[in-house]
Amino acid sequence: MSTSEKFPQISPQFFSQPLLETIANDFATPTYVYALDALKNNLAGLRRHFPKADLHYALKANPSGALIKEMAALNIGAEVITLGELQRAVHAGIPRLILGGPAQSPQLIQAALANGVRQVSLDSLSQLASWQDVAWPEDLSFFLRVNPALDPQTHAHLATGAVTSKFGMTSSEAAEAAEQILKQGATHLAGFHIHAGSQIHALDVYDDIFKCLRPLYERFASQGAKALNLGGGFIVSGDGSKHFDFDGLRQKIEPFVEEFGLALTLEPGRYLTANAGVLLTQVLHIKDHRSVDGRLHVICDAGMADLIRPALYSAEHPMYVLGRQDAEQTILGDVDGPLCENADRLMQQKQLPEIVQGDILVVEQAGAYGLTMASNYASSFRPAEVLIKDGDVRLIRKRETFEDLVALEL
Ligand code: LLP
pLDDT digit string, tens, across residues 49-104: 999 999 999 999 999 999 999 999 999 999 999 999 999 999 999 999 999 999 99
pLDDT over 90, % of the chain: 88
Best residue among 60, 314, 372, 375 to mutate for probing ligand 1, ranked by most atoms within 8 Å of CB:
60
| Biggest CA-to-CA distance, the chain | 72
Return the pLDDT at 4: 35
Cα 163 to averaged position of ligand 1 atoms, centre (Å): 17
Q: What is the reported pTM? A: 0.96
Return the pLDDT at 239: 77
State which ligand 1 atom lies nearest to the alpha carbon of 369.
24
Which pLDDT band, with edges at 50, 70 and 90, does 122 fall under?
Answer: very high
State which ligand 1 atom lies nearest to the alpha carbon of 315.
25
Q: Give yes or no for residue 2 having a pLDDT over 80.
A: no
Query: Is the separation of the CB atoms in 306 and 344 below 8 Å?
Result: no
Q: Give yes or no for residue 8 having a pLDDT over 60.
A: no
The Cα 346–Cα 343 span in angstroms is 9
Which of 135, 292, 340, 410 is an active site residue?
Answer: 340
Cα 158 to averaged position of ligand 1 atoms, centre (Å): 7
Amino acid at 408: L
The chain-wide mean pLDDT, for the chain, equals 94
The Cα 326–Cα 7 span in angstroms is 11
Residue with the smallest CA separation from ligand 1 atom 22 is 198
Mean pLDDT (whole number) for 126-131: 98
Residue with the smallest CA separation from ligand 1 atom 17 is 369
Residues belonging to the chain: 410
What one-character-per-residue DSSP string does 195-227 give? ---SSB--THHHHHHHHHHHHHHHHHGGGT--E
State which ligand 1 atom lies nearest to the alpha carbon of 200.
15
Return the pLDDT at 3: 37
The string of pLDDT tens digits covering residues 259-284 is 999 999 999 999 999 999 999 999 99
Cα 226 to averaged position of ligand 1 atoms, centre (Å): 24
Best residue among 98, 192, 195 to mutate for probing ligand 1, ranked by most atoms within 8 Å of CB:
195
Q: What is the DSSP letter of 382?
A: P
Check if 340 is active-site. Answer: yes
The string of pLDDT tens digits covering residues 353-366 is 999 999 999 999 99
Cα 291 to averaged position of ligand 1 atoms, centre (Å): 41
Which pLDDT band, with edges at 50, 70 and 90, does 11 fall under?
Answer: low
Cα 337 to averaged position of ligand 1 atoms, centre (Å): 25
Q: Give yes or no for residue 206 having a pLDDT over 80.
A: yes
Around ligand 1, the residues with Cβ closer than 6 Å are 58, 61, 79, 100, 158, 195, 198, 231-234, 267-271, 309, 313, 369
Which pLDDT band, with edges at 50, 70 and 90, does 30 fall under?
Answer: very high
Residue with the smallest CA separation from ligand 1 atom 24 is 369
Which pLDDT band, with edges at 50, 70 and 90, does 10 fall under?
Answer: low
Residue with the smallest CA separation from ligand 1 atom 23 is 369
User: For the ranges 3-7, 39-43, 333-337, which has the lowest average pLDDT?
Assistant: 3-7
Return the pLDDT at 113: 98
Mean pLDDT (whole number) for 31-47: 95
Cα 59 to averaged position of ligand 1 atoms, centre (Å): 9
**3-state SS assignment for residue 111:** helix
State which ligand 1 atom lies nearest to the alpha carbon of 269.
14
Give the distance, in angstroms, between the CA of residue 69 and the centroid of all CA atoms in the same chain.
Answer: 17
The Cα 127–Cα 387 span in angstroms is 38
State which ligand 1 atom lies nearest to the alpha carbon of 193.
3
Mean pLDDT (whole number) for 162-169: 93
Q: What is the DSSP letter of 370?
A: S
The Cα 189–Cα 347 span in angstroms is 46
Domains defined for the chain, CATH in brackets: 3-33+275-406 (2.40.37.10), 36-273 (3.20.20.10)
Mean pLDDT (whole number) for 34-54: 95
Residue with the smallest CA separation from ligand 1 atom 16 is 369
Query: What b/e sequence results for 336-347 when a residue is b if at least 16 CB atoms lie within 10 Å of its CB, and e otherwise?
Result: bbbbeeeebbbb
Return the pLDDT at 299: 98
Query: What b/e sequence results for 155-183 when a residue is b if at least 16 CB atoms lie within 10 Å of its CB, and e otherwise?
Result: eeebbbbbeebebbbebebbbebbebbbe
Cα 56 to averaged position of ligand 1 atoms, centre (Å): 12
Amino acid at 368: A
Mean pLDDT (whole number) for 204-226: 97
Q: Give yes or no for residue 6 having a pLDDT over 80.
A: no
